[in-house]
Amino acid sequence: MFEKVLIANRGEIALRIHRACREMGIRTVAVHSEADADAMHVRLADEAICIGPARSTESYLNKSAIISAAIVTGADAIHPGFGFLSENADFAEMVESHGITFIGPSAEQMRVMGDKITAREAAEKAGLPIVPGSAALTSIEHSIEWANKIGYPVIVKAKDGGGGKGMKTAFNDEEMAEAYQMARAEAKASFSSDTVYMEKYLQRPRHIEIQVLADKHGNVVHLGERDCSIQRKHQKVLEECPSPALNQQQREEIGEIVRKAMEKLGYFNAGTVEFMYEDGKFYFIEMNTRLQVEHPVTEAVTGIDIVREQIRIASGATLGYSQEDITFEGHAIECRINAEDPETFIPNPGKVKEWHAPGGLGVRVDSEIYSGYSITPFYDSMIAKLIVHGKTRNACLMRLRRALEEFVIDGVKTTIPLQQEIISQAEFIDGQYDNHWLEKHMAATAKHKQQ
């Protein structure tokens, strides 16, 4: 097992990784930007090194600075968390070339799954159901040709995309021309590559993802599904496990399909296979070769510490259990709490004057915020995750309602009121929602206020 792990991230996920390491008796190294000198994970880590100015390109995305910090401190492994360099194959290779273990899959696996086009090809060969789609698009004419072949509506996506960037929908040839140009421009600005492709646009889908764990000895298990359909501009807002849209037979079938596919691909470490689900059918869209923001809901239902397993797998350990050993108990929901105006979604950085996290049975808060902490404007605005677990979905909702009422964050605006609004709606309570439900609900609410 590793003696010292460097955490190449910030915020709540850096603290989450630190906690897992300490429970395993592993010392930690925190790297941080100048803006994060007072962060909680920096305070708690055994060692801390400043790796650059506030801008992420000069700190958390600075590969050389991070590897240098690992060498100087004698860290024998690096955990990338999510975001930043977590799916950067070049970084993973650099880490391994310096005799340091990268806690994640191989660089080769990251490259295959990080390219949306090659990921589709690999997934199809491995037996995953695929949404109808195109090859890389080369012109407006080529795009229109593919769109008519697939059938409108379609969605144009950045090959290297993520976070909803570089995605544009089209319902006819005229819109297709605009969508192609806009998606390419946005992809170039966000990912330094203007390569785009196309998929059939499902009009009432749900976003269902399957969590997998695989060791380096060929053992693979799935940890069930998460429903991530509550979204705004392709950004997840709330997630739950299990999905209220699936029955037991469906979840067992798709889980086994994914497990076998990962065996065929020779994948190892944690990963998430994401699908669009509509009218009883699953369509593969992408695979995330890293830890997911919403991993705590799966942990709550399975009792498996996914970060701990990532570390064990990277060290060469076997899973030590089979699919038959995994049990699923109760229901869990996660709310992402952002420092944003809950109506306009404009980021609202500032000093937290008062902080009180909810507690009690089945309530977990992942955050490194504390009273007096200053939220900077330099990074993602998510400042906390509230995870609630109950024996049933209804019990979970009741507990979540209470926990949100108890949550106090004074000094900055947050999206807690939005989360309260979501879970009070009949459609959500009944589990009758899809990927577009939240935006439609918000548009209807805004229109009603104007009248």
- The set of residues, in sequence order, having a beta carbon less than 8 Å from that of 13 and lying 6+ positions away, is 81, 82, 83, 291, 293, 366
What are 245's two structure tokens? 């849209």
Cβ atoms of 190 and 174 within 8 Å: the answer is: no
Nearest-angstrom CA–CA distance, 273 and 226 = 10
* Enclosing H/E stretch for 225: strand 220-232
Which residues pair with residue 169 across a beta bridge?
155
Q: Count the neighbouring beta carbons within 10 Å of the beta carbon of residue 87.
A: 21
Tokens of 60: 């958390």
Largest Cα–Cα separation, the chain = 64
| Nearest by Cα to 72 from 101, 52, 48, 107 | 48
User: Could you count the other beta carbons within 10 Å of the beta carbon of residue 94?
Assistant: 19
Is 290 marked active-site? yes
Q: How would you classify residue 317: left for phi > 0, otherwise alpha for psi between -120 and 50, otherwise beta?
A: beta
Give CA–CA dist 53/65, Å, rounded: 12
Task: Out of 120, 184, 290, 399, pick the active-site residue.
Answer: 290
Q: Which two tokens stand for residue 103?
A: 């806690």
**Hey, what are 207's tokens?**
């976003």
The pair of three-digit structure tokens given for residue 187, joined into one six-digit string: 């992809």
From the CB of residue 139, how many other CB atoms can be counted at a distance below 10 Å? 10
Side by side, the strands of the sheet bearing 27-33 are 47-52, 27-33, 4-7, 77-79, 101-102
CB contact at 8 A, 45 and 21: no
Tell me which H or E stretch contains 142: helix 140-150
CA distance 104 to 172: 41
Return d(Cα 257, Cα 245) in angstroms, integer: 18
Residue pair 93/107 in contact by the 8 Å Cβ criterion: yes
SS3 content of the chain, % helix, strand, coil (to 5): 40, 25, 35
- Closest by CA to 212, choosing from 266, 264, 258, is 258
Provide the annotated active-site residues.
290
